[in-house]
Structure 1
C-alpha cells in the first residue's frame, strides 16, 4: 500500500523532471469495448487438476504447479445483489496440513470487520459436520475447532456461507472495502486462512498502521453473479461468462496467489497493452481517460523495469483499477487498486505526478508481496520500504539517476515529519504511532536500502534483489533470510549497518 505523501512527491519530482526531454507522456490508446459474447462455464469441482491454472501463468512458470499440490484451494460462489452493496457467497476451502504438527483448529481472517461486524459467516461445516463460527481478535478472525486433529499431510474440506453489506462511506483499513461513486471494491471480502508458523496462527489484532494480509499462496476459482450493467475487474483471469438481460455470470481462476480482489462499476472503461506474455489493463471511469492512459504507460514501463531486475512477472494478466480509498493505492495478487481521487487531473495538477508513483509502487508489490510474502505487521520495512526503493529504481530506469533524485528527496522530506529521528525501521507496525509509521517506513526505510546499495556495491545489490525474488518466490521470507542472503552475496558483515538503521 502507498500512504499519502502527494505534496512532497509532486514538488520533489517537479524539480528533477520538469523540462526533461527524456520523460515521455502516456501514449494514446484505444478504448477496448467490454465483450458480451457468452462462453461456457468450466467445471469447478475440487478434484480438478491444477493444470487448469497453467493458463494463468506465462510458459516459464507453468512447471511450478507440479510442486503445489498441497496448496490451499478456494472455491467461491459470489452474488452481488441489484443494490450492488449487498454481497453474499458460498465458499469451500480444501486445506492441507503442511505443518509438522497436528492442528486442532484452523483460523480464517475476516478483514472487513475492521470497520465493525460487517462480514458474517453461517452454515460452517468441516467435512459436512456442522460447527460454530467462533469470532476472535475484535471479530477480525474466526476460529474453526476441528472435530478431530488434522494430522500432517491430511486434508479437510471447510464450507461456509458469508454475507456482508459493503460500507458506503470510508471506514477502517483505509476504506478499501467500499461501495461509493458507483464503484464497488471488494477488499478481501471472503474468509481467508492466514499463515501458520512457529508462533502458531498469525491472527494479531489489527493495528492502526500497515496492511494485514499474511497468507500462503493458494488457488482460487470464483464464480461471480452480478447485475448485467456492471463491468467486473479483478484478480486472476476470466475463463467463462454468460450474459442475460438482467444478470451476468463470470468465472475467474487465479493462482498461485495470496488473495482475490474484485471491483465492479457501470462507469468502468478499459485500455490494454501487451508486455511480453502479459496483458496489462487499466480500468477507470470514462471521464478520466488521460489518467487511464498514464496508468497503462507507467505500468508498462514499471513491468519492463522490474522484469529485468527481479525476474519475469509470472502471470498473463495485470489489472490496475481505480477505486475510492483513503490511501494512494493497494496491492493485490495480479491486480492493484488506485485511488480514484488521483485520476482527476483537472482538480489538481499534482494528481498525475503522484499517480505515476503510486502505479510504480503497486506494480513492485507484485514481486514483494504476491510472489515473496513477508509479515507486514511484524516487519513492514521488508515489504513497504523495499517497494519504495524499487519505485526509485523505476524512476532511474525511466528517467535516469539525476532525474530520479526528486523521488529520493521525497523520502527525506517525509522523514522530516518526525524531525528525521533515528527511529529503527525494523519495529512491528503496531509499535509505531500513527505519526511515526509513514515517515519511518516510507521515508527512512528506503534510505536504508540506499545505504545497503552503497555498502554492498551496485552490482552485488542488484544480484541481491534478483536472488531474493527468485529464492523466495511463492514462499515466505523474513528479515533474517534477507540479511543472510545479502551478507552471502557481498561476502561482508552488515551488522553495523543493520544496527544503525533496522534494529532497536
Structure 2
C-alpha cells in the first residue's frame, strides 16, 4: 500500500492539487462526510443511478445456481468457486462459496478456520482506514459479513463467528494428505465509505470481502487468527485457484483479479465469469461509469480503468507499463496475463491486490510527465505495481512481517525512478530515503500492532529501505540484484520470511553480511546516520 497518511491527513479537504513534500495529492471528492451520508440515506430506494434503475426488486441467494463441474486441485493449491449477486438497493452481496483443499500439513486438523476480514468494518475502532476514521460510524458506514450456512463434505456443520474468524469444528479429523470441501453461504453488507471496502457514489470497491482460508502454523499448533489491524495490512493467505461468477446489472463494468472468460446475459443482469490461477486472493471493482485505456508490455495486457479523466488514466497506464517492464527485467517476470490499474474513491493513498491496483479519485493531469513534475499518484502507481512482486507473487504474513512487502516495495519503487530519471531524482533512492533524517524508535522489524500509523509511515516506508540500500552498497550492484532475483524465484507463489531472505543473502554473499542485515532489522543499535553521511 502506498500511504502518505502523515501528509495526506492534513490536506484531504483540499479540492485542488497542492504541492506537499515534492508530491501532488489529488482529491476530487469535495463534499463533507456528513453531507454525503445524508445524501446517500435520502437516495436509498430512489433509483438515483442507472445501476439501481436496472436492479431487480428481489435478489435471490445464488446457492440455487447450478454448480457445474467439480472443483479440481492443481499442485495442491486450494480451489475456490464463488457465485455472487450484487443487491444494489440493499447494498449487499449474496454469496455462495465452495473451497476444496488438501491437508498439506504434517498434522491432522481438528477444525477449519477462515478469516472474515469484512467484520473489521463493524466499528470505527477496528476499521482499516488509510484516509482517517471518524470516532463513530453511521449505520450505512458499517460493513459486515454474515455466515448463513456451512457444509463440510456435503454435511451441514455448526460453526462460530467471532473476532473476524469463522471456525468449523470437524466431526472427524482431516489427516495429512486428505481432501476436504467446505461450502459457505454468506451475506456481505457493503459499507458506504472511501476505504478499501465500500461504495461511494456509483462505484464499488470489494476487497478482503469473502471467507478466506487461514494458514495453519505447525510450530504453534494453531491457525492464524489475527484480525485485520487498523494500521497497515494484515493479509496472509496461500495462493489458490479461483473461478468467480458475478451477477450484476448489465450496464455495470466489473474489474477483477484474473481474466474474464465468459459473460452470460439474463434479462436485466449479466453473469460475468472470471478465472484466476495461483493468486493470493480475489478482488473486484464495479461501476457503470468505468472506461478503459490499454497497452501490452512483455505479453501482459495492462488496463487503466477510470471514471472521468482519460488523460490521467493514460499517464497511470504509461507508468504502470514502464515499471512493469523494469521489474520484469530486474526481479523476474510478472506471472499473470493481465494487470489492471483502477480508479476508485479510495481516500488517503493507493492499495495493492493480486493483478489489480486500487487508486484514489483522479484529478485532471497531463498525459505527459517529466522528472521535475512527478506527483504522488505517479509514485503510487509505480509503488503498487512493485507490490505485484512483493505481496502478490512473493507473499508474507503482512501482520507479522510488514517490512517484507512494504519496505521492499518502497525500495523497488525508488530503484525504478532512479533508473528512469537518474540518481538525483527526488523519488530515487537518494531523494526518497537518504536526503532526510527521520526520528524513529528501533527496532525496524516488528509486527504491525507495534506501530502507530505515524511510526509505520516512517519506519516501514523510509527506514526499512535504508537497510536494503546498505545491503546494496556492501555487496555491490551485481550481487545485490542476484540476491533479489534468487529471492523472487525461491518464494514465487509462496510465503516468505525474514529468515528466508537472510538465508539467501548468506548463500549469495556471506554469513557476516547476513548477520549484519539481521542486526540492522531487529536490533536497537542499528543507525542509518553513517549511510546518510556517505550519501
For the aligned pair, the TM-score class normalised by the smaller chain equals: 0.7 to 0.9
Q: What aligned pairs does 1:182-331 form with structure 2 within 5 A after superposition?
A: 182-197=202-217, 198-199=219-220, 200-285=222-307, 287-331=308-352
Greater relative contact order (CA < 8 Å, ≥ 6 in sequence): 1
SS at match of 1:147: strand
Which residue of 2 is the match for residue 158 of structure 1? 182
Q: Is the 8 A contact 1:194 1:213 kept in 2?
A: no
Q: Aligned equivalents of 2:519 and 2:336: distance in 1?
A: 38
Q: Which residue of structure 2 lines up, in the alignment, with residue 53 of structure 1?
A: none
Could you tell me which runs of 5 or more consecutive residues in structure 1 were left unpaired when the two chains were aligned: 16-42, 51-67
CA contact (8 A) 1:322 1:339 kept: yes
Preserved contact between residue 227 and residue 234 of structure 2 (Cα < 8 Å)? no
From 52, 66, 70, the equivalent of 2:76 is 70
Residues 426 and 432 in structure 2, CA contact (< 8 A), matched pair in contact too: no
Q: Deviations over 1:47-103 (max 9, x none)?
A: 3667xxxxxxxxxxxxxxxxx432111000010123372211100111210100000
Q: What TM-score do you get using the length of structure 2 for normalisation?
A: 0.79
Cα distance change on mapping 1:361 and 1:300 into 2, 3 Å: same
Give the TM-score normalised by the residue count of structure 1. Answer: 0.83
Assess if the C-alpha contact under 8 Å between 2:316 and 2:381 holds in 1: yes
Query: Any conservation in 1 of the 2:149–2:184 contact (CA below 8 Å)?
Result: yes
Is residue 415–residue 439 contact of structure 1 (8 Å, CA) maintained in 2?
A: no
Give me the whole-angstrom Cα distance separating, in 2, the residues matched to 1:435 and 1:209.
10
Structure 2, gaps ≥5 residues long: 9-17, 25-65, 123-142, 525-535
Counterpart secondary structure, 2:275: strand
Q: Say if 2:265 and 2:271, in contact at 8 Å, map to a contact too.
A: yes
Asked if residue 130 in structure 1 is aligned to residue 130 in structure 2, the reply is no
What is the alpha-carbon distance in structure 2 between the residues aligned to residue 458 and residue 500 of structure 1? 19
Q: Between 485-494 and 73-82, report the one with greater CA deviation.
A: 485-494
Question: What is the alpha-carbon distance in structure 1 between the residues aligned to residue 287 and residue 340 of structure 2?
Answer: 15
- Residue 251 of structure 1 and its aligned partner are, at CA, apart by 0.2
Equivalent residues in 2 for 1:411-490, closer than 5 Å = 411=433, 416=438, 420-490=439-509
Query: Is 1:4 the counterpart of 2:27 in the alignment?
Result: no
* Aligned-partner Cα distance in 1 for 2:72–2:516: 50
| Cα distance, 1:404 vs structure 2 | 5.2
Residue 147 of structure 2 is aligned with which of 97, 121, 126? 121
Check 1:396–1:447 CA distance in 2 against 1; reply closer, same or farther (3 A cut): same
CA contact (8 A) 1:105 1:143 kept: yes
Secondary structure (helix, strand or coil) at the match of 2:237 reads: coil
Query: C-alpha root-mean-square deviation of aligned residues, in Å?
Result: 2.5
Deviation at 1:352, TM superposition (A): 6.6
Are positions 1:89 and 2:109 aligned together?
no
CA contact (8 A) 1:377 1:430 kept: yes
Map of 1:143 onto structure 2 = 167
Name whichever structure is richer in helix by fraction: 1
SS at structure 2 position matched to 1:297: helix
Closer, same or farther: CA 503–276 of 1 in aligned 2, 3 Å: same
How far the C-alpha of 1:356 sits from its partner, in A, is 1.1
Q: Give the C-alpha shift of residue 501 in structure 1.
A: 3.8
Asked if 1:334 corresponds to 2:358, the answer is: no
